[in-house]
Structure 1
């Protein structure tokens, strides 16, 4: 096992009707930015619950944070925070809203000229504290310090990390997910699934506990995912999926083990260029990447096949290859597309995508072995392009 440090200060309040805990959680906060995305929280009753909980606070609302939060939009909130001397940010929504608020929190305290520098690697020295009410489980942003921001003017989608970006608390009420559109439910299953594989499907390093924790999340998502499509108001089902999404990226399963993240890096560029949902890109790229990197991931793919899909063949190669096929079939069973051609992305654009990925990574090769460069990315994209048979 590799050396590691683990730090996670986020207080989780999980369960039905837990939004009612907000007055206690915010008792020492006065000027609050209440930030959210579109109008969905006004349709499912969450907005009114929040307003009631904040009735005795000085509240400033900021709406319109996009699915892929835009730098230009977020900078409007940054100016509002500065002008009104906001002392706490309450992010209400899914991962995009939370990611956006993490940027707002750091950018509002950034002393240099261009807060985009934070996304490009500059370190934030402090941030406005924030808390979350999660309405769409998927990214795990409610319990980590990571954030992903887009900037349309330069066709960029970049992630950044700050120790100041951890929420003070996150409220997770599975019942608020009952009204989610099917597309978002599907995304909320695929996203944590791939978060786990990025930390699990690498190479062996004698980490049995992390392996089994990862396999437990994957098996739970495989068991509970299809139910979520059919049973829109099954509280226990939605609770299990919500907790899987949080556990998939709160730092625990990735400590002491090699990590990949090439699927995410390639997917981010596809989102930036063509506007696909984040999870849609992951469902396309992961099976293709596993095929391409088969020789380097074979041992873990065999474990994956045996322990997650319960495969029992005499041939390890058959187990590994079947596990890749079953992963793609699982995504498709949820209703997800798994090929670039299904999204009408022209094959002639693949070289451009590969080039953009490497530009964004500043020439640093991707993957746990740091061997995936522009040529390899193009080969992965070519595997991911043909129609599914």
Structure 2
């Protein structure tokens, strides 16, 4: 394994009574009373969560900032930063899924800086401080509730970039699986794909020995797949929602990548697509990951054969090629069975876009830690996904 230092300071508060602990959790990190509550499209108001939170925050002065989009946009973050500065906000509460939390991370860092928020994303400016924030998770998908990463879309330049800083770990995250009961089916599906994709990105890694990670990833992935089937049939099955929620969190909180980085090429491929066509991140991953697997498995067959054994219990008597196909087909078939999309063309994306996508993915040169992709590789994968 590579040498590593593990650090994750986020307090995870999990269970049916987690949200009721909100006031004392905030009090751990600020003596101030001015709270900015960030959220997305307002579904939390329809579900009653908004009223529930406000009843818990009666001792605080709450300013609301809604409308953070899926694939959170730079211009929205900039408006929120102004609100923080104008109102001398002491603490930010992000109520939502990965998009709201990702946007809040940049709001947090940019609100104590004179730099343009995009300079932070592009690493032209390094944050030196941040407004403390916590989260109430409403969608299990990205794992952003317990990591220091964020992805922001600049719609003016059609760029979607990831960034991170140790300063933007959430101080706490409150996770109640009951909140997931009312999720639309497509959001549950996208969340399952997203969390599985994070595990896949880390399974296919650059280390010579990732035995501990392999075992954890395979175990978590199997549990997510089983729970996903149940949750889609029984949306109010607490045990299934519980498994999906914790599974998505541990899939990207650092536990699964001790000793290696993982590949992350497919996320780069997807970011280029959804920076131009505003499709859900999970949907894009469902389309592109099988295409990446088919293409790269020809270059790294042994690892893909092992994947089939670890995750799909492929019989040891099968040939290497048969194992490879078992693993790839296993992912494809599962995602198809839960209603995930499978082709770029389903979103009216044409081959004419591929050169644009490739240009965006290769702005720093070839990418991918498990298998480096150049322009020819990138175009071939998009073609397989078409």
**Does the Cα contact within 8 Å between 1:285 and 1:380 map onto a contact in 2?**
yes
| Aligned-partner Cα distance in 1 for 2:321–2:102 | 40
Aligned residue among 221, 231, 236 for 1:233: 236
- The Cα offsets for residues 134-165 of structure 1, whole Å up to 9 and x where unpaired, read as 00010000000000111111111111010111
**Does the Cα contact within 8 Å between 1:201 and 1:297 map onto a contact in 2?**
no
Match of 1:283 in 2: 286
**Does the Cα contact within 8 Å between 2:148 and 2:164 map onto a contact in 1?**
yes
- The Cα offsets for residues 255-284 of structure 1, whole Å up to 9 and x where unpaired, read as 202411010001011111111100011011
Match of 2:86 in 1: 83
| Aligned-partner Cα distance in 2 for 1:68–1:93 | 13
How many residues matched? 381
**Does the Cα contact within 8 Å between 2:201 and 2:262 map onto a contact in 1?**
yes
Q: Which aligned pairs between 1:62-73 and structure 2 lie closer than 5 A?
A: 62-73=65-76
**Does the Cα contact within 8 Å between 2:74 and 2:117 map onto a contact in 1?**
no
**Does the Cα contact within 8 Å between 2:205 and 2:261 map onto a contact in 1?**
yes
Q: Which aligned pairs between 1:316-327 and structure 2 lie closer than 5 A?
A: 316-327=320-331
Aligned residue among 144, 149, 152 for 1:146: 149
Is 2:25 aligned against 1:21?
no
Name the SS of the counterpart of 2:138 in structure 1.
Answer: strand
Is 2:43 aligned against 1:46?
no
Aligned residue among 355, 361, 365 for 2:359: 355
Match of 2:131 in 1: 128
Match of 2:332 in 1: 328
When residues 189 and 329 of structure 1 are mapped into structure 2, their CA distance, relative to the original with a 3 A threshold, is same
Is 2:384 aligned against 1:380?
no
**Does the Cα contact within 8 Å between 1:204 and 1:300 map onto a contact in 2?**
no
**Does the Cα contact within 8 Å between 1:203 and 1:299 map onto a contact in 2?**
no
| Aligned-partner Cα distance in 1 for 2:371–2:343 | 25
Structure 1: gaps spanning 5 or more residues = none
| Aligned-partner Cα distance in 2 for 1:16–1:367 | 40
- Give the alignment's Cα RMSD to 1 decimal: 1.2
Shift of 1:29: 3.8
Match of 1:293 in 2: 296
Aligned residue among 169, 179, 184 for 2:182: 179
Match of 2:121 in 1: 119
**Does the Cα contact within 8 Å between 1:119 and 1:160 map onto a contact in 2?**
yes
Q: TM-score, normalised by structure 2?
A: 0.96
Structure 1 outlier segments of 4+, above 3 Å: none
- The Cα offsets for residues 336-378 of structure 1, whole Å up to 9 and x where unpaired, read as 111112222112222221122213xx2x211114620222100
Shift of 1:330: 0.9
Name the SS of the counterpart of 2:366 in structure 1.
Answer: coil
Aligned residue among 86, 101, 105 for 1:102: 105
| Aligned-partner Cα distance in 2 for 1:115–1:16 | 36
Match of 1:368 in 2: 369
When structure 1 is superposed on structure 2, of 167-176 and 340-349 the one drifting more is 340-349
Q: TM-score, normalised by structure 1?
A: 0.95
| Aligned-partner Cα distance in 1 for 2:300–2:21 | 45
Name the SS of the counterpart of 2:156 in structure 1.
Answer: helix
**Does the Cα contact within 8 Å between 2:262 and 2:370 map onto a contact in 1?**
no
| Aligned-partner Cα distance in 1 for 2:307–2:180 | 29
Structure 2: gaps spanning 5 or more residues = none
Shift of 1:302: 1.5
| Aligned-partner Cα distance in 1 for 2:206–2:142 | 24
Shift of 1:95: 0.4
